[in-house]
Amino acid sequence: MPEVKPGAAHGASAPPPAASARSVHEKPAWVTDLKRFEKPSASKVSWQLFNTLVPYAAMLVLMYLTMYWKLPYWITFLLALPASALLVRIFIFFHDCGHGSYVASPIWQQIIGNFLGLFTFSCFASWRYSHGIHHSTSGNLDRRGIGDVWTMTVDEYAASSPLRRLQYRLFRNPLIMFGLGPFFSFVIIQRLPARGASRKQVLNVVAVNAVIAGIVIAAAFTIGIKAYLLIQMPIMLLGGAAGVWLFYVQHQFDPSYWARTEDWQSMDAAMQGSSYYKLPKVLQWISGNIGFHHIHHLRPRIPNYNLQAALNATPQLQLPDPLRLWPSLKSVRLKVWDERNKCLLTLREATRQLRQRPSLA
């Protein structure tokens, strides 16, 4: 593993201007200037919904027709690939509604957000609440646990029981995190109100569950429950895996940022702890520009369709060493945070480090 210099952003040898120490509330002028990109656009929203929902509906129809025509299922499954990609894009629009950034009207934010949540099996009110906590606590070691990826420090891992370590290793296993995890999260967890949920959140979960149940029942009496599952499940599994990967790599990369509350800085959490994930253009389109995650954490009210313009207009956001697709795959090996050296380690590296520490006996 290359040496990690505290404060280095995305592998840069020195911190960008935005990452210098400053109070949580103090923002440089260029960050304030980003406010001009927060203005929603009804025409852009209309076009996005059209160029995503219409092709998605077409994919669903084609998948059903392949089974109706008794074609081999692998053809149906191949159509699930573009459908799942479109589902990821739908979730980005849902995500923007959660931030109140997608459209100007708060009422339409609610309507569109709840509607799009049906596609992703997500409850808008409860997801919006937990994701808001994620934005206010991202990178804070003392405020982990809601809306983030379970991340232990080296010392916490060392102090854990064998059973706790096994749970952690299983949770961070790619087959579980990007395989069973998305299914469990979207299909099962989203069906249950979170502990301590407000009345509004509970009612939202009940309403979403009722509508989804209605859709499943309608499908059972029209195309058949088997056809519905053979269409919906691969889309959810593939789209969920891609979506969870995007969420994972946005904060789990090397070098990254974690700090205790007394040292935590919102600017540093955004510029160092949120990835500038520079994807190929087609993947950037599918992911709704969410790869510009450092911008998103600086100004969450900038809608996805304005993030590219914000990046182009702001030199401070154009980090010298963005995270690329192929190197980003190595992030799955990073498991625990090393507070001493300010970097993420693999479990093997963490174990080696613990063995080298002097005994306290």
Q: Can you tell me whether residue 250 is helix, strand or coil?
A: coil
DSSP 276-339: BEE--HHHHHHTTTTTBHHHHHH-TTS-GGGHHHHHHH-GGGS-SSPEEHHHHGGGGG--EEET
Question: pTM of the prediction?
Answer: 0.89
pLDDT at 10: 47
At 259, give phi and psi (nearest 5°): -155, 155
The tens digit of pLDDT for each residue in 78-121 reads 999 999 999 999 999 999 999 999 999 999 999 999 999 999 99
Cα–Cα distances (Å) from 98 to 101, 107, 128, 212, 326, in that order, read 8, 12, 5, 20, 30
Residues 108, 110, 113, CA angle at the centre, nearest 5°? 100
Residue type, 107: I
Q: Phi, psi at residue 240, to the nearest 5°?
A: -65, -40
Domain boundaries, the chain: 39-356
Q: How confident is the model at residue 359 (pLDDT cuts 50, 70, 90)?
A: low
**CA–CA–CA angle 149, 262, 10 (5° rounding):** 50
CB 18 within 8 A of CB 28: yes
> CA-to-CA distance for 341 and 165, rounded, in angstroms?
22
DSSP 65: H
Confidence class for position 25, pLDDT limits 50, 70, 90:
low
Average pLDDT, the chain: 90
pLDDT tens per residue across span 252-299: 998 899 999 999 999 999 999 999 999 999 999 999 999 999 999 999
Integer Cα distance of 53 and 216 in angstroms: 19
Task: Indicate the length of the chain as a whole number.
Answer: 361
How many other CB atoms are there within 10 angstroms of residue 32's CB atom? Answer: 10
